[in-house]
Structure 1
Amino acid sequence: MSLAQERSLDATYRRRLTEGTLAFQRCGDGHAVFPPRPVCPTCGTRELAWTESAGDATIYSATTISPRDQDPYTVVILDVAEGFRMMSRLDDSDATTAAIGDAVRLEVRPIAAGGDPLPLASLTTGATA
């Protein structure tokens, strides 16, 4: 993959984030591709189309990080409903109680005022799957 192709895929992904959507690619055989790549890692095709995630996911793994002199936060690996896995930050006051299998909802927004938009997860009601 050329540097220009890599930048183009990243630029498309980041532009979609600024529009408020979590974009991923899907090949003609239906495989979800995330993060964006020029080739489907499952079947090898270069025929990939951009699509949007609805934002539903479940927690595959979670760890709470407690930096010195800062509030703790929870980093999660998520199984997204459309068929890909991604890392995110659990953005809830009760994030430290998150468990594997809990349902979450992804929302694209900045972590801090003026920051770049990122897909952040929040626990949904009736969380455990």
Structure 2
Amino acid sequence: MNKEHRLPSPIANPENKAFLEAAQNDQLVLKHCNACNQAHYYPRTICPHCGSNDTSWIKSEGLGEIYSYTVMRRGVEVPFAMAYVRLNEGISILTHLTNCDFDAIRVGQKVKVVFQETQDGQKTHLFEPV
């Protein structure tokens, strides 16, 4: 992703506040259900797998692989790439790809989390090739 492409800032709410705060410290955290022992994304209090509200935050190692991707070149000022990344924790996360040749992106490619400031100066997660 070109450094000129500035991401919009995520909208904070009580369920994602800790997630957004962790990003300010260059950490990716996920919600984990203590009842069914599964992680989930996007952060929310109620587990989407079993409906339990017994959830807690866990730190992600920030490693995974590209499951699917697209490169936007038409109708945008600066081309950018988005992908579903399957994290080593077993969940998929929708994200932008950065610091890579868009023509070299491949399904199965190993990636790691990095953090970049948004339009309003908040940090958010992106992924780059390992």
Normalised TM-score (structure 1): 0.81
Aligned to 2:115: 108
Offset at 1:111?
Answer: 5.3
Q: Decide which structure has the larger Cα Rg and report it.
A: 1
Say if 2:79 is the partner of 1:72.
yes
Q: What count of residue pairs does the alignment treat as equivalent?
A: 118
Q: 1:16 to 1:69 in 2, by over 3 A?
A: closer
Note the aligned Cα RMSD (angstroms): 1.9
C-alpha offsets along residues 70-107 of structure 1, whole Å, 9 cap, x if unaligned? 33221111111112111111102413310111111111
Aligned to 1:8: 14
Q: Percent identity?
A: 21
Offset at 1:27?
Answer: 1.0
Say if 2:49 is the partner of 1:42.
yes
Aligned to 1:94: 101
Q: Which runs of 5+ in 1 are unaligned?
A: 1-5, 125-129
Offset at 1:56?
Answer: 0.4
Aligned to 1:3: none
Secondary structure of the structure 2 residue equivalent to 1:101: coil
Structure having the higher strand fraction is 1
1:89 maps to amino acid? H
Say if 2:57 is the partner of 1:58.
no
Q: Which runs of 5+ in 2 are unaligned?
A: 1-11
Aligned to 2:4: none
Secondary structure of the structure 1 residue equivalent to 2:65: strand
RCO higher in structure (CA 8 A, sep ≥6): 2
Structure-1 separation of matches of 2:59 and 2:79: 30
